Amino acid sequence: MQVLVLNSGSSSLKFQLFSMPEETILCSGLIERIGFDDAKFKLKTKENTLEVVTAIPNHKTGLELLANRLLDKDTGVIKSTDAIHIVGHRVVHGGKHFSDTTEITEAVKDKIKTLSSLAPLHNPPNLEGIEVAETIFPNAKQIAVFDTAFHQSIPEYAYKYAIPNEYSEKLHIRVYGFHGTSHKYVSEKAMEYLGKKNSKIITIHLGNGCSMTAIKNGKSVDHSLGFSPINGLIMGTRSGDIDPSIIFHLAEKYDYNVNEINALLQKKSGMFGLTGLSDLRDIQAEAEKGNKACQLALQMNAYRIKKYIGSYAAVLNGLDAIVFTAGIGENSILMRQMVCENMDFLGIELDTEKNKVRSKETHAINTDGSNVKVLVIPTNEELEIAKQSINLFKN
């Protein structure tokens, strides 16, 4: 069975085509800068890698280009679009409506649309990817895998906010959690590495968006992101935790409206707000040159992660492992070092030489004497989506 997985962003489209259940990657790629004349299409197969720079005005054009390349006599890996049996879609926010992987219907699309206000940077492009895929792969089953689903196991005392009950019950304001496919995938890999399902693990997903999850015996019990993907850790352009009174202060004293405050916290804050840069590689390079703002931003980022490690170790009443994953977590030697410094009271001891090792496999970077395993596990959200998609039909 062939499963195409689409991760549709506002100006990008990641994809992988799998042969399942073998978990064989037939091809993978990325479309960047959708909406620009110099958009980049990259398709990688076992035989070759194709890169094309061309105008891609929208997701429909991008997916049409993908379909044509899959069918191309030189680069193609399928004979017709009917060869793809399932298209699995990443959808960020499922609200209270979706606790499991779901086959997409008109009603499901309507729900995803209504939830766009909770994830304005994510749900709209997710939905657009679904609607375009329906036209290009009309005979495939369209499946939604929700970032929020993995966190439905968080207990009520952890997901509920201390606001009047009517807002929780009628307006469904609560912690939902995000990056669920990534946290689920790497936590299962960590349990395999540890050789036990009964475990206490903290997973640290660090990319442009960042989050942490406390996982006990394979279940999410707390998570740093909440009602929307804006709070918790410091992110590329998102603020993470702030005092809510700052919002009122901006509105009352400086006459900011709701849209301006939302744009400030979603698109102009985080590492970008602190440094003018959102890519951690650029920030690290500037910090090495002596840029004080970049040095401080890195310290703030690591400090916030440490705070969550401490609180989640308390929630779990112990700790077997911490896991670094996603673009920054897997690749930033410096950030892992800064996070793990002076954490020996929790039994976390980093081996500086092991920390320099790069691998596409699960590997430990802790000292031999460390009571807590420090693991780097490359995430594979696309594979997790493919697995959940075919499991829907097995069940």
101 and 230 in a common domain: no
Q: Which of 38, 74, 82, 147 is catalytic?
A: 147
281 and 138 in a common domain: no
292 and 212 in a common domain: yes
Residue 385 pLDDT exceeds 70: yes
223 and 133 in a common domain: no
- Answer with the one of 116, 146, 176 that is the final residue of a domain: 146
Predicted local confidence at residue 38, as pLDDT: 87
pLDDT class of 204 with cuts at 50, 70, 90: very high
pLDDT class of 115 with cuts at 50, 70, 90: confident
Predicted local confidence at residue 76, as pLDDT: 62
* Average pLDDT of the residues in 356-372: 94
229 and 137 in a common domain: no
Is residue 317 in some structural domain? Answer: yes
135 and 13 in a common domain: yes
Percent of the chain with pLDDT strictly greater than 90: 59
219 and 120 in a common domain: no
The CA distance from 19 to 84, in Å, is 10
Q: CA-based angle 232:236:239, to the nearest 5?
A: 40
Is residue 387 in some structural domain? Answer: no
Residue 48 pLDDT exceeds 60: yes
- Answer with the one of 111, 127, 146 that is the final residue of a domain: 146
Predicted local confidence at residue 261, as pLDDT: 94
226 and 128 in a common domain: no
Is residue 156 in some structural domain? Answer: no
Nearest to 6 by CA among 117, 86, 112, 96: 86
Q: Is the peptide bond before 21 cis (omega within 30 degrees of 0)?
A: yes
Is residue 386 in some structural domain? Answer: no
Which CATH number belongs to the domain containing residue 68 in this structure?
Answer: 3.30.420.40
**200-206 and 321-325 beta bridge pairing:** parallel
How many other CB atoms are there within 10 angstroms of residue 328's CB atom? 23
Is residue 169 in some structural domain? Answer: no
**Number of domains into which the chain is organized:** 2
pLDDT digits (tens, 9 = 90+) for 54-69: 898 888 888 888 888 8
147 belongs to the catalytic site: yes
CA dihedral 312, 203, 126, 283 (to 10 degrees): 100
* Average pLDDT of the residues in 258-278: 93
58 and 134 in a common domain: yes
Phi-psi region of 33 (alpha: psi -120 to 50; beta: other; left: phi over 0): left
pLDDT digits (tens, 9 = 90+) for 302-313: 999 999 999 999
Is residue 121 in some structural domain? Answer: yes
209 and 101 in a common domain: no
Task: State the residue range of the domain holding 215.
Answer: 195-381
Alpha helices in the chain (DSSP H): 59-71, 106-114, 123-136, 156-159, 165-170, 180-194, 245-254, 258-267, 270-275, 280-288, 292-316, 326-331, 333-340, 381-394
pLDDT digits (tens, 9 = 90+) for 134-192: 988 889 999 999 888 899 999 999 999 999 999 998 888 999 998 999 999 999 999 99
pLDDT class of 264 with cuts at 50, 70, 90: very high
Is residue 168 in some structural domain? Answer: no
* Average pLDDT of the residues in 293-320: 97
> Is the four-CA dihedral 368, 354, 316, 190 of positive or negative sign?
negative
Q: Which residues pair with 14 in a beta bridge?
A: 7, 30
Predicted local confidence at residue 162, as pLDDT: 96
Predicted local confidence at residue 305, as pLDDT: 97
Nearest to 211 by CA among 83, 113, 305: 305
217 and 120 in a common domain: no
> Is the four-CA dihedral 127, 385, 237, 285 of positive or negative sign?
negative
Predicted local confidence at residue 68, as pLDDT: 82
Identify the residue with better confidence: 70 or 239.
239
* Average pLDDT of the residues in 11-21: 87
Nearest to 17 by CA among 68, 78, 92, 72: 78
Predicted local confidence at residue 255, as pLDDT: 94
In the predicted model, what is the mean pLDDT of the chain?
A: 90
**Which two structure tokens, joined as six digits, stand for 199?**
């475990």
Predicted local confidence at residue 123, as pLDDT: 82
Predicted local confidence at residue 75, as pLDDT: 57
- Answer with the one of 106, 123, 146 that is the final residue of a domain: 146
* Average pLDDT of the residues in 12-21: 89
Is residue 16 in some structural domain? Answer: yes
210 and 124 in a common domain: no
